[in-house]
Amino acid sequence: MSHNTEVHHLTTSYEARPEEVHRVLLLYSGGLDTSVMLKWIQDEYDAEVVALTVNLGQPGEDYDVIRGKAHQLGALECHVVDAREEFAHEYVMPAIKANAIYGTGYPLFTALGRPLIAKLAVDHARKTGCDTIAHGCTGKGNDQVRIEATIATLAPEIKVIAPVRTWRMGREEEIAYARQHGIPVKGGTEAPPYSIDDNLWGRSSEGRWIENLDHPPTDDVFTLVTRPEEAPDEAEVIEIDFEHGVPVGVGGERMELVPLIERVGEIGARHGVGIVDHIEDRIVGLKVRDIYEVPAATILLLAHKELEVLVGTIHQHQLKPTLDQKWAYLVYAGLWWEPLRTDLDAFMDASNRQVTGRIGIKLFKGSARVITRSSPNAIYDASLATFDHSGGLFSQEASPGFIELWSLQSRMAWRVRERDEG
Ligand code: ARG
């Protein structure tokens, strides 16, 4: 029996031993953590760093500035990938078809983005000859699970390092490290900012007072959605057109998916729609609170669900929510590449074939309420639904016969119990 004499004992198959790290693909956001990391990896591992920044439609990023900063910090190369189309079509679209919500209102924007970001990291690592991928996730969150599960699945030959999990620097130490190494720091040492993650499909804030569960939201957390109190006094109706479960138009105007999501998001945000104050069960066991701003997802998921109600049968409506929930959980839990997700997508595609039509939603000071529906595929006949007359497919004379048989077992069971109770 041989003894393991390695200095660096690793628990997993995919974590890098320091001596294996020569060229690192760093998932770079331009923020403090990954900027410090860009420098730290070069020093700590004596390795080269290729930076990769992924555009998933997060508002307000200046990619030239990010690229410049990466080069300034010594990156060998810096790649910026515009993945908005792929994100919208391959990740958000299936989420809409599956009405994807985790917990009591999280539309999964981060969870949907991570497998794509990690897949792009694998592609670029292979293209640029990197042996290792580095990311800025902490050891307490879901994102490390999503990113590392993706890399370990798609590229078993590539190793991973997660410096934030191991370097034991707090925010103050990171700022000190940054100062010491000439890394530009925005803001400085005043109150630490919220921890933000955002993309086309939504925005989350964590940290600071959000960690006090009885602390109500302070106004400064909302940077996407207008506070409902300040939203317009006039309601607005937004009409969404769907074809086969996919949103294709707003207010009668046909649009591509990315600009459509942006348009719906803007209109919803103006009316204060899509604020979710969410207590969440993370995969790693922790319970945390997130403040979400998800105007586009709130409106589009509401409209999609309503249209499903119109075109599906009672039996479809009883089953699909359980599959929707399974889909959302797999994605939340970092198992995007799990075959069951693909199997479920096949079901979602099939059940969404009929989901074509238009839904009108009234937006007013934070609320979104369906007010009109129409579909060529509606399983609905206004003349059958009216109270009085029989005719066509419905016979009121048949109703008593139905009731007799429908209630048969319940009536028999009732009698048995009555007999036993004397
Ligand atoms: N709680 C959400 C999730 O787990 C959002 C996480 C946001 N990520 C972040 N690094 N701030 O998907």
Q: Does residue 390 surpass a pLDDT of 80? A: no
The pLDDT score that the predictor gives to residue 1 is 36
CA-to-CA distance for 148 and 154, rounded, in angstroms? 10
For tokens 């309601």, what's the residue? 235
User: Does the beta carbon of 34 sit less than 6 angstroms from any atom of ligand 1?
Assistant: no
Q: Which of 206, 221, 291 is the pocket-test mutation for ligand 1 (most atoms within 8 Å of CB)? A: 206
CA-to-CA distance for 212 and 203, rounded, in angstroms? 20
Residues 6+ apart with CB under 8 A from 149: 334, 335, 336, 337
Which one, of 87, 115, 373, lies nearest residue 257 by Cα?
Answer: 87
The pLDDT score that the predictor gives to residue 2 is 40
Nearest CA to ligand 1 atom 4: 142
Question: E strands, 15-124, where?
Answer: 23-27, 48-55, 77-82
The pLDDT score that the predictor gives to residue 270 is 98
CA-to-CA distance for 271 and 362, rounded, in angstroms? 10
The pLDDT score that the predictor gives to residue 382 is 85
Pairing of strands 246-250, 159-161: unpaired
Pairing of strands 287-293, 357-364: unpaired
The pLDDT score that the predictor gives to residue 6 is 46
User: Does the beta carbon of 111 sit less than 6 angstroms from any atom of ligand 1?
Assistant: yes
User: Does the beta carbon of 199 sit less than 6 angstroms from any atom of ligand 1?
Assistant: no
CA-to-CA distance for 378 and 197, rounded, in angstroms? 39
Tell me how far CA of residue 22 lies from CA of 17, 122, 130, 244, 314, in angstroms. 11, 16, 7, 48, 58
For tokens 């974590």, what's the residue? 15
The pLDDT score that the predictor gives to residue 123 is 98
Q: Which residue has the higher pLDDT, 234 or 9?
A: 234
Q: Which of 29, 34, 137, 143 is the pocket-test mutation for ligand 1 (most atoms within 8 Å of CB)? A: 143
Tally DSSP H helices, then E strands, for the chain.
15, 14
The pLDDT score that the predictor gives to residue 385 is 83
User: Does the beta carbon of 195 sit less than 6 angstroms from any atom of ligand 1?
Assistant: yes
Q: Which DSSP symbol is given to 251?
A: T
User: Does the beta carbon of 280 sit less than 6 angstroms from any atom of ligand 1?
Assistant: yes
303 CB burial (10 A radius; 0-12, 13-18, 19+): buried
For tokens 């910090």, what's the residue? 73
Mean pLDDT of 149-158: 98
User: Does the beta carbon of 155 sit less than 6 angstroms from any atom of ligand 1?
Assistant: no
Q: Which atom of ligand 1 is nearest to the CA of 288?
A: 1
pLDDT band for position 271 (cuts 50, 70, 90) = very high
Helices (H), 99-245: 109-127, 143-154, 163-166, 171-180
Q: How far is the CA of 148 from the centre of ligand 1 (A)?
A: 15
pLDDT band for position 62 (cuts 50, 70, 90) = very high
Question: E strands, 251-379, where?
Answer: 253-254, 275-281, 287-293, 357-364, 367-374
CA-to-CA distance for 254 and 311, rounded, in angstroms? 22
User: Does the beta carbon of 239 sit less than 6 angstroms from any atom of ligand 1?
Assistant: no
Lowest mean pLDDT among 22-26, 188-192, 224-228: 188-192
The pLDDT score that the predictor gives to residue 5 is 43
Q: Does residue 187 surpass a pLDDT of 70? A: no
Percent of the chain with pLDDT over 90: 91
Q: Which atom of ligand 1 is nearest to the CA of 282?
A: 4
Q: Does residue 165 surpass a pLDDT of 70? A: yes
Mean pLDDT of 234-247: 98
Q: Which residue has the higher pLDDT, 282 or 395?
A: 282
Q: How far is the CA of 204 from the centre of ligand 1 (A)?
A: 7
Q: How far is the CA of 67 from the centre of ligand 1 (A)?
A: 24
The pLDDT score that the predictor gives to residue 184 is 87
The pLDDT score that the predictor gives to residue 192 is 77
For tokens 């990171």, what's the residue? 174
The pLDDT score that the predictor gives to residue 8 is 60
Percent of the chain with pLDDT over 70: 96
Paired tokens of 126: 């292979």
Residues in the chain: 422
CA-to-CA distance for 56 and 84, rounded, in angstroms? 5
The pLDDT score that the predictor gives to residue 349 is 98
The pLDDT score that the predictor gives to residue 185 is 84
The pLDDT score that the predictor gives to residue 267 is 98
Nearest CA to ligand 1 atom 9: 197
User: Do residues 266 and 259 lie in contact, with contact meaning Cβ atoms separated by under 8 Å?
Assistant: no
The pLDDT score that the predictor gives to residue 394 is 87
The pLDDT score that the predictor gives to residue 7 is 55
pLDDT digits (tens, 9 = 90+) for 65-107: 999 999 999 999 999 999 999 999 999 999 999 999 999 999 9
- Within 13 Å and on the Cβ side, how many CA atoms surround 398? 6
Mean pLDDT of 223-248: 98
3-class DSSP state for residue 337?
A: coil
Paired tokens of 56: 């998933």
Nearest CA to ligand 1 atom 10: 197
CA-to-CA distance for 398 and 389, rounded, in angstroms? 13
**Active centre residues (catalytic):** 33, 114, 143, 195
Nearest CA to ligand 1 atom 6: 110
Mean pLDDT of 155-181: 95
CA-to-CA distance for 304 and 123, rounded, in angstroms? 33
pLDDT digits (tens, 9 = 90+) for 30-60: 999 999 999 999 999 999 999 999 999 999 9
Q: Which residue has the higher pLDDT, 362 or 170?
A: 362
The pLDDT score that the predictor gives to residue 188 is 57
Q: Which of 58, 108, 110, 199 is the pocket-test mutation for ligand 1 (most atoms within 8 Å of CB)? A: 110
